[in-house]
Amino acid sequence: MEELKSKMPAINVSKWRVFLMGLVLLLGMILTGFISYQFKQDIDFRERQSFESRCEEIKLKIKARLMTHKQMLLSGAAMFNASEEVRRDEWKMYVERLSLNRELDGVQAFGFSLWIKPEQLAEHEKNIRQEGFPDYQVKPEGKRNAYTPIVYIEPFEASNLRAFGYDMYSEPIRRTAMNWAMDNQTVSLSGKVTLLQEESTDIQTGTFMYAPVYQKNKPIETVEQRRKAIFGWVYSPFRMTDLLHHILLNSHDVNVGHLHLQVYDGMTKHLHNSAHPLESLLYESEESTITHDQFNPLFSYDMYVEFYDTTWTLHFDRFVDDEGAIDYSKVWLALSTGTLFSLLAFFLLRAFFSMQIIDARIAYKLTSQWRESEYRFELLANSAPVMIWTSGTDKRFNYVNKMWLDFTGRTLKQLQENGLADDIHPEDLQESVHIYRDAFEVHQPFRVEYRLKRNDGEYRWILDTGVPRFVDGVFIGYVGSCLDITEHYESELALKMSEKNLAMSNADLLQFTHVAAHHLQEPTRRIMIFVQRLQDVIAQMPEPNEDVLSALNFIRESTLRQRALVRDIQLYLAASQPRMPMENVNVGTILTKVLDITAIARLIETTHAQIELGELPSVLMDRPRLYDIFNVLISNALSYHHPDRIPHIYIYGEHKKRGVRYYIEDNGIGIPFEYREQVFLVFERLQVNDDQDSTGVDLAIVRRIMESCNGAVSLCETKYGGTTVILDFRE
């Protein structure tokens, strides 16, 4: 024992040396990583600066091109202001002198649109036909408050002929831009459109620029005066790909593959999170071998080109390919060099200390204290009320306690030679061995249940747990214990059988409900048929008996209520069980189907109700029951609307910390505070009128569905009167 104590400090010292080696390696790797990271940050910063500089250059060129188009349109408008009348041939010579195709790529045409009042339309078409265009007609046809047909368009050839006579004011996007230019006495740029000139191939996105022309000698100081004095618009349609081609042609990085440009109409923030970004896409540079679907961009940069009332978003992405890869050679050099020096220092220290550490471990394992510890462990294990075992690195048993030997009736030598292969139930053998071997390979704890043969031949359920053993960080085997859990296992099995029987009973009850509902519905159906026949016969009599007809109508309404009651009771009993697989359901789709129901659509039309839908996050639910919930709540909101207000229903939702919440707000008659729990009881109604089809079960169905899926439903008062139903779906 004294010898053992003398060696204990040596072992403690070796642990400190191991710690020192790890610390040197860790500090070396941390320093290497920090230096490499700084190199990478510097390279990335310079690359981003270069990338953003190129983006700024492209933005300035696009802005300059738009200003050039602006001056061209203003010069055309000035031509009308300076002349008493601009003839068609004069306009043609003027446009030819501009040399559009040579000087300004992307300009599809240069034209003039005339403002015409409805009473001037026939005279206008007659005059144009007399100019040599017998088939001329303002299009599209139809009566409008004003017409703005294209009367001059150059070049007057090819696809531009389709635009001759087209009323641009009839199209909302073009009309918005024309109105803005007219009201503000300046040029305007339209939103995204498809030009009439587009062919079936090479279709490009288009946009229009307008400059207003006012009648001479009329005041235009105010918006109202400008609208009265408007004479027409000088305009030019652009094909976006052609418009930007010349600009991007001089920017060598675009379309090479590692720089990608997208132009969007409007200030599109958080572009990749937008629900429908393609709807506003005006232009996209040609795709290369590196696309969004393959890799995320290395850099992204959003810029905005503002042109009067219009904003374009320029979204640039920098991709990495063979031609545009960033040179990280300095980073890799620093990383590899630092790693090499760190490993070299580690192995030098390890070689220096290894012999002393090995000697200390060998000496420690050969001491009598180790043997005494083993003896104490054996004594404790033999007195324990559980079966205890240990195994070495060869996966074989090297010790089992007395309780284990008594349980199996085998000796330790037999267990070492054959293991438990002969004692584990054949159905459990393969899985048990698999779990044990997998845990042994990775030195992780394990738990496994299997049936083990007792010495009397009876199989008992055993819970076997094992944990790895380490000495100074070296794996030496496993220690484990086995516990007879047969009684506990049988109790769990009995509980599962009880749950299964309960589920079967519930299924039988639902089946009985369906059958009973069917048989209860059949008499009501027959009563309805015969009541209708009697009504038809009495109605055809010379002097129908109104009392009899009234009684038959009462029978018919009572039968309808009975049928509705049977239906609602059936829905109530089945409300706790999903009728389809649970899935993430789009609530907006469900609401669209509910609003298309004939009864609800008729209520909306009759009451002139307004249904407003806000943000509606999806929810994990089966579709039929979610459909029933919104059907009930919307029907109630429409049925119990306030007699002095047009019904307004607002439905929206939000994500909560653990789930989703939906709100159904109405401006109806409301529910007093003291009745907000009563309405969720079966057969409870606050108003009982003969002209209402409610059975008093609807809201009880809603609560039963919500509670069955760990949710909740509650009521509160809407801010401006009415009731808000709150649905909480919890995860």
Residue 510, pLDDT score: 56
Give the residue, 199 or 211, on which the prediction is more confident.
211
Query: Does residue 376 sit within a domain?
Result: no
Q: Do 476 and 503 sit in the same domain of this protein?
A: no
Query: Does residue 339 sit within a domain?
Result: yes
What value does the mean pLDDT take over residues 30-49? 86
Q: How far is Cα 351 from Cα 165, in angstroms, rounded to an integer?
A: 93
Query: Does residue 375 sit within a domain?
Result: no
Please list, in sequence order, all residues whose beta carbon lies within 8 angstroms of the beta carbon of residue 294, skipping any fewer than 6 positions away: none
Q: Do 495 and 470 sit in the same domain of this protein?
A: no
Indicate the residue among 186, 212, 240 that finishes a domain: 240
Q: Do 676 and 652 sit in the same domain of this protein?
A: yes
Q: Do 720 and 622 sit in the same domain of this protein?
A: yes
Q: Do 627 and 699 sit in the same domain of this protein?
A: yes
Residue 674, pLDDT score: 80
Which pTM was predicted? Answer: 0.45
* 155 preceded by a cis bond (ω within 30 of 0): yes
Query: Does residue 246 sit within a domain?
Result: no
What value does the mean pLDDT take over residues 134-157? 90
Query: Does residue 247 sit within a domain?
Result: no
Count of structural domains within the chain:
6
Sheet holding 397-400, edge to edge: 397-400, 387-391, 474-484, 459-471, 446-453
Q: Do 12 and 57 sit in the same domain of this protein?
A: yes
Q: Do 49 and 146 sit in the same domain of this protein?
A: no
Indicate the residue among 426, 458, 484 that finishes a domain: 484
Least confident of 248-257, 304-313, 407-416, 606-615: 248-257
- Residue 462 belongs to domain with CATH number: 3.30.450.20
Least confident of 150-154, 336-340, 360-364, 673-677: 360-364
Q: Do 528 and 671 sit in the same domain of this protein?
A: no
Helices (H), 209-328: 223-229, 240-249
Amino acid making up residue 134: P
Q: Do 45 and 185 sit in the same domain of this protein?
A: no
Q: How far is Cα 74 from Cα 235, in angstroms, rounded to an integer?
A: 10
For the chain, the average pLDDT equals 79
- Give the domain extent around 454: 386-484
Query: How buried is 222 (Cβ within 10 angstroms: 0-12 exposed, 13-18 middle, 19+ buried)?
Result: exposed
Q: Do 441 and 554 sit in the same domain of this protein?
A: no
- Residue 196 belongs to domain with CATH number: 3.30.450.350
What value does the mean pLDDT take over residues 327-335? 83
Indicate the residue among 562, 594, 619 that finishes a domain: 562
Query: Does residue 628 sit within a domain?
Result: yes
Q: Do 660 and 626 sit in the same domain of this protein?
A: yes
Least confident of 173-182, 363-372, 681-690: 681-690
What value does the mean pLDDT take over residues 139-152? 92
pLDDT in tens, 532-569: 777 777 777 777 777 776 776 777 666 666 665 566 66
Query: Does residue 719 sit within a domain?
Result: yes
Query: Does residue 381 sit within a domain?
Result: no
Residue 254, pLDDT score: 47
pLDDT in tens, 334-364: 888 888 888 888 888 777 777 666 666 665 5
Q: Do 121 and 30 sit in the same domain of this protein?
A: no
